[in-house]
Amino acid sequence: MTNGHGGNDALVEINGVSKKFSKSLRDARRYGLKKLVAGAFGVRDEWNTLRPGQFWAVDDVSFTVEKGETLGIIGRNGAGKSTILKMINGLYLPDKGEITVKGSVGALIELGAGFHPLLTGRENIYIKGAMFGKRKREVDELFDQIVEFADLGDFIDSPVGTYSSGMYIRLGFAVAIYNDPDIMLVDEILAVGDYKFKQKCFSKINELKRKTAFVFVSHSMLDITRFCDRVVVLDRGKLAYLGSPVEGVKFYLDEVENREIKERGLLSDDGSVVRSFFGELFSNNDKITDVNHRWVTAEGKPADSIKHNDTLILEFSFRLLYKPHRIVIGVPIWDEQGNYITSVNSDVCNAEVKVDNDGWVKGRMTIEHIVFNPGVYASVISIVDSKEMIYRQVVGSFRIQEIPFYFGFVTIQADWDFA
Amino acid sequence: MPDKVDSPLKDERVTIYSRDTNFGLPTLKAVWFSLREIWFYRWLIWVNFKKDFVGQYKRSSVAVLWTVVMPIIPLTAYLFLAFIRALNVTSGLPYPVFIISGMTIWLILSEGITSAMGAVNKERSVLTKVKIPLITVIIAGYGKVCANTLIRIPFLVLVFIIFKIVPPPVTLLFPFVLLPIIILGLGFGIIFGMLGAMTQDAENAVAVMMRYGMFLCSVIFVMPTDGLMGTLNRLNFFNHLVVGLRDFLVHGSFSDPFGFIAASAISVLIFIIALRWNYSLEYLVREAL
């Protein structure tokens, strides 16, 4: 095994790859037709420049994926994640650069792609096998294992059009994995499966990791940090980060997600309101200024990564430009999948927010024992005067480090007594 | 098709994707790789063909009847005109034999092109998400046309019996003599299938060409042999194919062997060009779907 940067074990090498698309289907077809007609007569169209209405969906991206490695790709919608997968799979060709793929590729790019809804699960197993280039005899040999893994019971003889999305993915994943590809591309779809099946898939991925390279697109930061060896962060088609999953997720949340929110805010009508999974963000600049806030550890260092059950502190300061009635500060927290975990609120904690004569508020909110389970968490600080919202912005993210065992959202200490 | 290298991998292929992939390949190499691809995916082609063909017959209790009768219905007007002697038919064959045999041959071409275009459209969702060659989808669709032709042949035999036409035993080779028009239909199917994915105009153009083309190819009428029209007909290789195949079906021989051979050679050439275009440019179709 080499260091993951183009060594001998690299099954996928992506070198300076760019791909352009048209914003409208009409343009895409018009340009495609021109290329088709020109290409038919051996004339290469000018492919290196953008035409009106085109944009770079992937722009000068380079990375490798090695045998035995699971590479995660994260990025906002439209960042180019699926386009990269489709280029590795050979569905799209790069407009610039080169992709070298060593071995066979299995791809789960969309739920149920390639399944015929009127045919049974059994029949579709053979059709999907044929799509992987297998013969009937070869599918016969794999059939029982596929059916067992998919765990569809009697539904295997029902038309797949009657399947739930979970059943679709079980069958799709089982067929793809048992066709034994050297490189497996998985695009988000595992998010659809139930928890048990997802664990089964990841267990299978771990089993196959020794000989197979996985490229894994996901919006679940938890899955990325748990199962990937490295992560690529794509930002508007460009490679913004390549490295460890923990750092990559942090980079994504801090740099990409937060920047996107701020930029979208600047573009809004009143210059401050934005929407995201954090909800509405807002700042009344006539009433509040000089706002600072950050998560720190007990030692006062930035809380990028802290241990479970450690102390977590939110430091904040701001200046009010008017005389407030009654300030309340709230801090809602979400996990990386957007689950609303909890909210800490000064009012609920019976804490009075003190405002000095100059309107300054400086304070700390201390969580003695952060009981959240491992993962990356995002938070917002909202400052309310009576019922009037004057400020609501993203604080940033913090990560809770791994612990051996955990369930659900939080892990709490409990004393056990026995008679 | 990818080159092979020494490798401990389960699948020893090394594939390089770039904008130049397959573009600069010599034609014969591209055709050879294309044929290898067809062979590699032969089972997928069979499975897809079977799926569509069986589906067609599962959904209708009288599907065979529709396969035979539907193409004949537009011809009834001409049969009627011939019956009342409003049409001048001088082929020497009973008009129903002339027109039904001509139509059976013509449908291989026209249905072939439309079925290829339909197959690309129908499988667009698969083609954009699963790496299967475009040509496998087109051939599977075209297979249905060939099967429909086989279904129509007994009906043609029945018409021959009714009109007391007894072809010589060599006519049994007819399915093999159909080969040029089959590969011509497939070649055009590939070309128009690709174009049809890019523009609706291709579909409309094909509909017009197929509707009026049969009037210029001895399907409905005997084409003149003299004057300007005669010269144009001698250059019309579609006409040579239809006339040649009908001759063989009825007489077991060709009235213009050179014309048939030349038309067959052109068919092979078009098929080769289609395979070459498909192999080099199919990714453009995928991107436009």
* Three-state SS letters, A6-70: CCCCEEEEEEEEEEEEECCHHHHHHHHHHHHHHHHCCCCCCCCCCCCCEEEEEEEEEEEEECCCE
Bridge partners of A295, per DSSP, are A314
A211 close to B (CB below 8 A): yes
Q: Which of these, A168, A176, A87, lies nearest to A129 by C-alpha position? A: A176
Topology given in CATH for the domain delimited by A274-400: Coagulation Factor XIII; Chain A, domain 1 (2.70.50)
Residue B94 has pLDDT above 90, yes or no: no
Return the domain boundaries, chain A.
10-251, 274-400
Cβ of B18 within 8 Å of Cβ of A114? The answer is: no
Cβ of A98 within 8 Å of Cβ of B48? The answer is: no
Domain that holds residue B104: 3-288
pLDDT of B7: 41
Rounded Cα distance, B284 and A47, in Å: 12
pLDDT of B78: 67
A171/chain B closest Cα distance in angstroms: 15
A291 close to B (CB below 8 A): no
Q: Which of B56, B198, B279 is the best residue to mutate to test the A interface, defined by the most A CB atoms within 10 Å of its own CB? A: B198
A204 close to B (CB below 8 A): no
- Is residue A185 within 8 A of residue A43, CB to CB? The reply is no
10-residue block means of pLDDT along chain A (419 residues)? 52 92 82 81 71 88 91 88 91 90 83 77 87 83 88 86 82 83 81 70 79 85 81 92 87 73 45 49 85 90 86 93 91 80 89 91 93 86 87 84 82 85
Domain count, chain B: 1
Rounded Cα distance, B57 and B144, in Å: 11
pLDDT of B274: 92
Mean pLDDT calculated for residue range B142-163: 85
Residue B8 has pLDDT above 50, yes or no: no
How is chain B split among helix, strand and coil, in percent rounded to 5? 75, 5, 20
Per-residue b or e along A217-255, where b marks 16 or more CB atoms closer than 10 Å to that residue's CB:
bbbbbbbbbebbbbbbbbbbbbbbbbeebbbbbbbbbbe
Contacts of B284 in chain A (CB under 8 A): 32, 35-36, 39
Mean pLDDT calculated for residue range B81-88: 62
Residues 36-55 of B with CB under 8 A from A: 40-41, 43-44, 47-48, 51, 55
Bridge partners of A398, per DSSP, are A377
Rounded Cα distance, B68 and B60, in Å: 14
pLDDT (tens digit, 9 = 90+) per residue, B110-147? 888 888 888 888 888 888 888 888 999 999 988 888 88
B129 close to A (CB below 8 A): yes
pLDDT of A405: 77
Q: Which residue of B has its CA nearest to A180?
A: B10
Start-to-end Cα distance in chain B = 23
Smallest Cβ distance to A113: which of B126, B195, B283?
B126
Cβ of B43 within 8 Å of Cβ of A130? The answer is: yes
pLDDT of B52: 78
Residue B81 has pLDDT above 70, yes or no: no
Mean pLDDT calculated for residue range B103-109: 88
pLDDT of A274: 39
Smallest Cβ distance to A103: which of B10, B55, B284?
B10
Cβ of A127 within 8 Å of Cβ of B48? The answer is: yes
Higher-pLDDT residue of B60, B187: B187
Cβ of A35 within 8 Å of Cβ of B281? The answer is: yes
Cβ of B11 within 8 Å of Cβ of A131? The answer is: no
Residues 27-56 of A with CB under 8 A from B: 28-29, 32-33, 35-36, 39-40, 44, 47
pLDDT of A8: 62
pLDDT of A3: 37
A182 close to B (CB below 8 A): yes
Name the one residue in this structure whose structure tokens are 């990028």.
A304
Contacts of A91 in chain B (CB under 8 A): 128-129, 131, 283, 286
- Is residue A283 within 8 A of residue A393, CB to CB? The reply is yes
Q: Strand A105-108 to strand A238-243: parallel, antiparallel, or no bridges (unpaired)?
A: unpaired
Cβ of B43 within 8 Å of Cβ of A28? The answer is: no
Determine whether domain A10-251 maps to CATH 3.90.1310.10. no
* Radius of gyration of the CA atoms of chain A, in A: 25
Residue B32 has pLDDT above 70, yes or no: yes
pLDDT of B3: 38
pLDDT of A265: 42
- Is residue A74 within 8 A of residue A218, CB to CB? The reply is yes
Cβ of B126 within 8 Å of Cβ of A96? The answer is: no
Q: Strand A230-235 to strand A70-74: parallel, antiparallel, or no bridges (unpaired)?
A: parallel
Residue B109 has pLDDT above 70, yes or no: yes
Q: Which residue of B has its CA nearest to A24?
A: B288
pLDDT of A279: 65
Task: Output the average pLDDT for chain B.
Answer: 82
Contacts of B130 in chain A (CB under 8 A): 107, 109, 113-114, 131
Burial (CB count within 10 angstroms: exposed 0-12, middle 13-18, buried 19+), residue A201: buried
The count of CB pairs under 8 A between chains A and B is 132
Contacts of B19 in chain A (CB under 8 A): 47, 93-96
- Is residue A170 within 8 A of residue A151, CB to CB? The reply is yes
Rounded Cα distance, B247 and B224, in Å: 16
B285/chain A closest Cα distance in angstroms: 7
ipTM of the complex: 0.76
* Radius of gyration of the CA atoms of chain B, in A: 21
Cβ of A104 within 8 Å of Cβ of B14? The answer is: no
CA dihedral B102, B108, B114, B120 (to 10 degrees): 180
